[in-house]
Structure formats: structure tokens, C-alpha cells
Amino acid sequence: MEKEESIYTISVLKETKQALSANNPLALLELSNKKIHSAACIQDIESITLTIVIYSLAKLIERKNNLKIKNWEIFVKKMNVLLDLSISALEKNNRSAYQKYILKAKSSLESISPSLKQNTKEIIRNACINKASHIYKHGISLGQTAKLLGITQWELAEYTGQAKMGDINYNRTLNEKSRIKMAMEFFE
């Protein structure tokens, strides 16, 4: 991971800690969306995992009252410790330690509560698919995106087919006059 990307990731981790402590799902969703842009460019598993962790935290906060998560404060403290360790590892340029702590944060999400294991797995799975669609929007192939996030191409294709990808007009056909004009300019 390059120095600039490390500095950016450290700032995202610090903002994630603040938003998590404040129980602010909107700030977490925004951070996740910001980080996915750089993750799409560098395509490293740590950046992608971080976006999934942040997005999943936002969804857990949104649903924590409905899910009746016990020991939420303890979970937040544990997650903040892992985020602090991740920051420290990046500051020391220790990528393997950073990767270990981010993966540990993801597994902590999965084990937040034994009674909620299925719900948290579903949230993480949906986070993977959601973030995959964002990477796919950045021009990374469907197959490569699915491989990066550990989902099937079918799942990603199904989601991207349902999600609005913006008003992208790449496939708009030009009228005859415009095509002729373009062809004439080509030969000039």
C-alpha cells in the first residue's frame, strides 16, 4: 500500500471510530462509499474488506434496536480497539498486521452475538454485494469484481441488474448525421 493510500486509510479508520462511537450510520455509509473509490482503483483485499466492515457497521447500527443486540457497548469498544490496532499497523507500515486486524474486525462482526449469527452473516453478504456493485461501476469487470469480493458473478449480475447505476449513456446510439460527421472527422 502506497504512503498516500495509507494516510487516507488512517483518516478513514479514525473517522470510522468516531462515527461508530456516535452511533452514526449515515457517516459510516458515507465513509464506506468514499473508501470504495480508492478500493476500486488499487483493488487490494484489505481496502475492500474495510469498506465491507464499515458498511456492515452502519447497517448494524440502523438495525440494532430491532435485532436487540446485547452488549453493544462492549462490541463497540472491541471494534474500536481493532481499528486502533489497524491504525497503528499502518503508521508502522506493517501491512500484514493491518490485514490481520481488518480481517479480525470482519470476523468480530460475524460473531457479535450467537443468536444473531444468521442476521449478521446476511448483513455482511449484502455488504459484499453492495460494494461489489460500486467496484463494478468503476469499470472493473464483473468476473474480477466477484472474485475480489468472494461472491458469484450471478449474485453480482442479479444485483447490478436491479440497482440503478446512474444515468450512464454509454450505449446510446447516435443518429445517422452524427455518425457520418464522426466518420468524416476521423478521415480528416
Q: Cα angle vertex 40, ends 35, 41, to 5°?
A: 100
Give me the average pLDDT of each 10-residue run along the chain (188 residues): 85 95 92 81 81 90 76 89 95 93 88 70 77 74 73 73 50 73 79
Tell if the pTM clears 0.85, that is, is over it: no
User: What pLDDT, on the 0 to 100 scale, is given for residue 121?
Assistant: 76
- pLDDT, residue 163, reads 53
Residue 28: what pLDDT? 93
Contact by Cβ (8 Å): 42, 5: yes
Contact by Cβ (8 Å): 51, 35: yes
Number of neighbouring beta carbons within 10 Å of residue 50: 28
CA distance 177 to 185: 12
The predicted structure's pLDDT at residue 123: 78
pLDDT value, residue 115 = 66
Q: Which residues contact 182 (CB under 8 A, 6 or more apart)?
A: 174
pLDDT at 68 (0 to 100): 74
Question: How far apart are alpha carbons 139 and 135 in whole angstroms?
Answer: 7
> Nearest Cα to 85, choosing from 74, 76, 75, 94?
94
CA distance 53 to 127: 8
Residue 179: per-residue pLDDT: 79
Say what the pLDDT of residue 33 is. 84
What pLDDT shows up at residue 114? 66
Q: What pLDDT is attached to residue 9?
A: 92
